[in-house]
């Protein structure tokens, strides 16, 4: 173990630690060559975050100052220069500072308790979105500053509040008085005031734990969480690690809390979990969940699908088969609250033929037009079941119906025809897969997308690039992807009909 002489604990590193300890560790000690290249979707999110901050500035703080220190070969020197400039602006009493750097040594101002040895020096660094002047005594004069954090999220997540408390503590050390408030401005420009009495002690505990982990230089255990890990630049490294050891986090349904319970019970491998009986689980894990996890592990080991035994007769489940069937998939842009493509695959089982119909909003304002076109097609086949994968399609129908004033009875009839294959799969069958996304299930069944490695996030990026460039090749790529999603849904439905009793 190499003693760390200088530890720089930044707000970004603290945020990573809060979300995933392993990610924070790898950011400090990992080989940069093992990092995944930045995805186009992540770059898009960063552009949107920057645009969001600029919009907030223009609306609320059109006159502001920003530290302009010159770049240096040593990052620490550059940050020190920006921190000195930030403090100089605070001494001048400017009204607003954008991306001011708050930096100070942790001792003796921070009450930190580390379980391991402490680095010779700990530097805490925060880059606050805004430092806003207010009346009140500080070492600078009859004014002080509080921090406002501009975030792209729609709700005040715990990690946002943690950072807000971090900025407040840094400010208190620098200006000699703790600010009475700290704020978060969210995507929809909602302003949220953080309860510092509650979050300051919790933030200091997290800082202490993070320093202890980094000081010990002990790499945290891998845990793959599909949603949390998808945009991480260490994903490939961690996934390969988990795959090589058949880690239980790759078993659908094993959450971090359930994993802790399984370890306590001595169920730390696929084999032990697959062989477990209800007596193994005791009262630690509910019977239904225990049965689900055991069956999932067994399915993976034997590499075969299993009918679920959950107290509901599988024979009671019914997947309709009709001469005409519709398979429905949507492409959406959450940032614009826009559904820009409604794709429908029409399958005629009498003629053994299929036809793909698409309703595409080439401009965002055309959403209502494609909604009406979609309804016109659906009503041509009033008896056809509508198969889809996930709840989103039903939620979208409800949203668009409300937005564009569709008759209630019409929409109720439409919704009664919808069949969510994801719900059918979850209720009736266990498959030897790592997750139950349409990509994973259809891929396991042998279906192949024409464009490999593409996701809904990539579709969003393509649509964004179409709006900016007018290059129709991006629309063509979206249509191919959506059509393949519809065909994959049909592929899954046909397999379910054959497999289920």
Neighbours of 9 (CB within 10 A): 22
Q: What is the 3-state secondary structure (H, E, C) of 24-66?
A: HHHHHHCCHHHCCCCCHHHHHHHHHHHHHHHHHHHHHCCCCEC
Q: What is the CATH number of the domain that holds 299?
A: 1.10.150.20
293 shares a domain with 333? no
Do residues 91 and 208 both lie within one domain? yes
Instruction: Specify the CATH number for the domain of residue 383.
Output: 3.30.420.10
CATH number at residue 205: 3.90.320
Sheet of strand 386-388, all strands in order from the earlier edge strand to the far edge: 353-360, 338-348, 324-333, 386-388, 418-420
- Total count of domains within the chain: 3
Same structural domain for residues 28 and 176?
yes
The residue among 168, 199, 216 that closes a domain is 216
Per the rule left: phi > 0, alpha: psi between -120 and 50, beta: everything else, 176 is: left
Contact 147, 128 (CB under 8 A): yes
- Comparing CA positions, the residue from 341, 349, 371 lying closest to residue 466 is 341
Same domain, 191 and 84: yes
Structure tokens at 225: 């969480």
Please tell me the predicted confidence (pLDDT) of residue 5: 63
pLDDT at 101 > cutoff 70: yes
pLDDT digits (tens, 9 = 90+) for 452-461: 888 899 999 9
Looking at the structure, tell me whether residues 326 and 450 fall in a common domain.
Answer: yes
pTM (predicted TM-score): 0.87
Domain containing residue 156 = 6-216
Query: Any bridge partners for residue 184, and if so which?
Result: 149, 192
Structure tokens at 462: 């393509």
- Are both 208 and 351 inside the same structural domain? no
Contacts of 33 by beta carbon, 8 Å cutoff, 6+ apart: none
User: Which residue carries 């599988």 as its tokens?
Assistant: 314
Residue 240 resides in a domain = no
Across the range 138-143, mean pLDDT stands at 95
The average pLDDT across 393-420 equals 96
Owner of token pair 């004033």: 405
Give the chain's end-to-end CA distance (angstroms, integer).
59
Pairwise CA distance, residues 360 & 415, whole Å: 21
What integer is the mean pLDDT of 139-165? 94
Least confident stretch, 5-14, 352-361, 439-448: 5-14
Tokens of 342: 């409604």
Q: pLDDT tens digit string along 30-39? A: 999 999 998 8
HSE, CB side, 13 Å, CA atoms: give it for residue 9.
31
pLDDT at 318 over 90: no
Residue 392 has pLDDT above 60, yes or no: yes
Is residue 225 domain-resident? no
Residue 155, CA distances (Å) to 190, 258, 457 in order: 9, 26, 21
DSSP 169: H
Q: What is the per-residue pLDDT for 116?
A: 41
CA angle (252, 256, 262) in 5-degree steps: 80
10/133 same-domain check: yes
The answer to the question of residue 200 being in a domain is: yes
Using CA atoms, how far apart are residues 51 and 64, in angstroms rounded to an integer? 16
Give the range with max mean pLDDT: 56-65, 139-148, 182-191.
Answer: 139-148
Is residue 241 assigned to a domain?
Answer: no
Answer yes or no: do 30 and 126 share one domain.
yes
For residue 190, name the pLDDT band (cuts at 50, 70, 90): confident
Buried b (16+ CB within 10 A) or exposed e, 46-74: eeebeebbeebbeeeeeebbebebeeeee
What is the distance between the alpha carbons of residues 33 and 310, in angstroms, rounded to a whole number? 46
The answer to whether position 107 is within a domain reads yes
446: left (phi over 0), alpha (psi -120 to 50) or beta: left
The answer for 125, left when phi > 0, alpha when psi is -120 to 50, beta otherwise, is beta
SS3 (DSSP) at 341: strand
Is residue 95 domain-resident? yes
CA distances from 478 to 264, 365, 439 (A): 47, 18, 16
Q: Is residue 167 part of a domain?
A: yes
The reply to whether 137 and 38 lie within a common domain is yes
Complete DSSP assignment for 438-480: HHHHHHHTT---SSTT--HHHHHHHHHHHHHH--HHHHHHHHH
* pLDDT (0 to 100) of residue 74: 76
Exposure of 3 in the CB half-sphere (CA atoms within 13 A): 6
| Pick from 304, 277, 303: nearest CA to 291 | 277
Dist CA 303 CA 24 (whole Å): 35
If asked whether residues 298 and 354 sit together in one domain, one would say: no
Residues 352, 297 share a domain: no
Q: Are residues 14 and 156 in the same domain?
A: yes
**pLDDT interval class at 313 (50, 70, 90):** very low
Q: Is residue 453 part of a domain?
A: yes
């Amino acid at each position: 173990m190499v003693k760390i002489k200088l530890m720089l604990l930044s707000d970004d590193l603290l945020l990573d630690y809060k979300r995933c300890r392993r990610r924070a560790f790898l950011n400090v000690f990992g080989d940069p060559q093992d990092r995944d290249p930045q995805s186009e979707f992540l770059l898009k999110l960063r552009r949107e975050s920057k645009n969001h901050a600029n919009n907030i500035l223009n609306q609320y703080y059109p006159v502001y100052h920003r530290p302009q220190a010159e770049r240096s070969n040593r990052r620490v020197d550059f940050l020190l220069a920006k921190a000195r400039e930030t403090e100089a602006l605070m001494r001048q009493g400017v009204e607003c500072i954008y991306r001011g750097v708050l930096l100070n040594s942790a001792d003796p101002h921070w009450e930190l308790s580390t379980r391991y040895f402490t680095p010779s020096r700990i530097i805490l660094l925060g880059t606050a979105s805004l430092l806003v002047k207010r009346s009140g005594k500080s070492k600078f004069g009859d004014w002080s500053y509080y921090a406002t954090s501009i975030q792209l999220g729609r709700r005040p997540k715990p990690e946002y509040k943690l950072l807000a408390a971090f900025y407040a503590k840094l400010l208190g050390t620098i200006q000699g008085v703790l600010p009475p408030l700290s704020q978060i401005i969210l995507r929809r420009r909602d302003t949220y005031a953080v309860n510092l009495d509650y979050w300051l002690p919790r933030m200091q505990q997290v800082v202490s734990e993070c320093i202890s982990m980094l000081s010990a230089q002990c790499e945290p255990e891998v845990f793959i969480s599909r949603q949390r890990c998808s945009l991480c630049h260490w994903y490939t490294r961690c996934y390969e690690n988990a795959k090589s050891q058949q880690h239980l986090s790759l078993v659908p349904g094993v959450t971090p809390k359930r994993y802790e319970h399984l370890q306590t019970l001595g169920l730390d491998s696929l084999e032990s979990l697959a062989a477990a009986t209800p007596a193994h689980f005791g009262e630690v894990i509910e019977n239904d969940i225990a049965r689900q996890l055991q069956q999932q592990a067994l399915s993976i080991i034997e590499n075969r699908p299993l009918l679920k035994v959950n107290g509901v007769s599988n024979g009671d489940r019914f997947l309709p088969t009709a001469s005409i069937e519709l398979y429905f998939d949507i492409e959406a842009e959450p940032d614009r609250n826009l559904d820009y493509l409604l794709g429908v695959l029409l399958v005629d089982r009498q003629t053994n033929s299929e036809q793909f119909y698409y309703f595409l909003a080439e401009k965002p304002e055309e959403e209502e037009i494609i909604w009406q076109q979609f309804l016109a097609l659906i009503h041509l086949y009033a008896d056809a079941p509508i198969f889809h994968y996930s709840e989103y399609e039903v939620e979208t129908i409800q949203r668009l119906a409300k937005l564009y004033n569709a008759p209630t009875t019409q929409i109720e009839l439409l919704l009664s025809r919808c069949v969510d294959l994801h719900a059918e799969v979850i209720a009736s069958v266990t498959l030897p897969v790592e997750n139950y996304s349409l990509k994973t299930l259809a891929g396991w069944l042998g279906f192949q997308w024409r464009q490999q490695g593409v996701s809904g996030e990539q579709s969003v990026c393509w649509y964004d690039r179409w709006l900016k460039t007018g290059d129709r090749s991006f629309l063509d790529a979206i249509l191919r992807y959506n059509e393949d999603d519809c065909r994959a849904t049909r592929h899954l439905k046909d397999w379910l009909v054959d497999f289920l009793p």
